Amino acid sequence: ESTLGAAAAQSGRYFGTAIAAGKLGDSNYTTIANREFNMVTAENEMKIDATEPNRGQFTFTNGDRVYNWAVQNGKRVRGHTLAWHQQQPGWMQSLSGSSLRQAMIDHINGVMGHYKGKIYAWDVVNEAFADGNSGGRRDSNLQRTGNDWIEVAFRTARAADPAAKLCYNDYNIDNWSWAKTQGVYNMVRDFKSRGVPIDCVGLQSHFNSNSPYNSNYRTTIQSFAALGVDVQITELDIQGGSATTYANVVNDCLAVARCTGITVWGVRDTDSWLGSGASALLFDGNGNKKAAYTSVLNAL
């Protein structure tokens, strides 16, 4: 096959990218994105601050720009993200307790209602676990509403759009030996055992020198899948752009039936949230295919 999306489809998987609404007028960007990818995540446009800038007042202008571009070009869409401690609008940052809990529920209903039946998978909760060795939850205004906030978010999400897969998404849960990975694993196991609706785990997979790719990544994917959830690689980028590491990531996903797709977090190095100097993506700033691109395509 000659594109990432078509190559991934040979095994029933998808290959996606993050799309920014503000770049849809850049024809170099849209040409590559349209040709290579068959799944789209809005890089920022479906986040809490973007979709509910004032409490109870929802805005989908930019989210819909990304959504419509994707669907008009035959691509599916991952929703990102509904409950997160980052990119909260000011009004939400200043809430706490039961009013914040209700605002979270209302937000999930508002955004999922707008996109009901249209989204392949939602990152319902993003980055709720702590970094470091505790294996526990991250302190946040949402966490301070009560430890059950994550399952409340998932139950709300299931009712709001029963057709969407519901994912828990996080970074630094790639390395099986890390406490944070084990913390998330224990939560998913608990949710499955108690019937809390969860369908997938998103491994963001932002690899860099502090959190490098480790060969136990395949064990991580296999272990989550064995709990009865899909695994998706949701925000892949590799600082330095190692072609070998990119191939390892693809091979690890392909080794596990329930690893259903891979999304890279941007199109060209110049589109990366890490800056072009990180050289973390598959196309250079001019849109040329990098060695990592060929490595991924051959591995798929």
Question: Does 204 interact with ligand XIL (rule: CB under 6 A)?
Answer: yes
Instruction: Tell me how far, at minimum, the Cβ of 131 lies from ligand XIL, in Å.
Output: 13
Question: CB under 8 Å to 166, separation ≥6 — which residues?
Answer: 121, 122, 124, 154, 157, 158, 197, 198, 199, 200
- 90 CA to centre of own chain: 23
Kindly tell me which of 51 and 204 has the beta carbon lying closer to ligand XIL. Answer: 204
SS3 call for 21: helix
From candidates 43, 45, 230, 237, binder to ligand XIL by CB under 6 A: 43
**Whole-number Å distance between alpha carbons of 164 and 2:** 30
Kindly tell me which of 60 and 273 has the beta carbon lying closer to ligand XIL. Answer: 273
The interface mask with ligand XIL, positions 153-192, x = CB under 6 A, is ----------------------------------------
Instruction: Tell me how far, at minimum, the Cβ of 265 lies from ligand XIL, in Å.
Output: 6
**Whole-number Å distance between alpha carbons of 293 and 5:** 12
Question: Does 44 interact with ligand XIL (rule: CB under 6 A)?
Answer: yes
Listed in order, strand segments (DSSP E) in the chain are 14-19, 39-42, 76-83, 121-126, 165-170, 200-203, 206-207, 230-238, 259-264
From candidates 273, 284, 285, 289, binder to ligand XIL by CB under 6 A: 273
Angle ∠(132,185,88) on CA atoms, nearest 5:
65
Instruction: Tell me how far, at minimum, the Cβ of 44 lies from ligand XIL, in Å.
Output: 5
Question: Does 237 interact with ligand XIL (rule: CB under 6 A)?
Answer: no
Residues 206-225 that bind ligand XIL (CB under 6 A): none
Q: Among all residues, which ones are annotated catalytic?
A: 235
Binding site for ligand XIL (CB under 6 A): 43-44, 126, 204, 235, 273
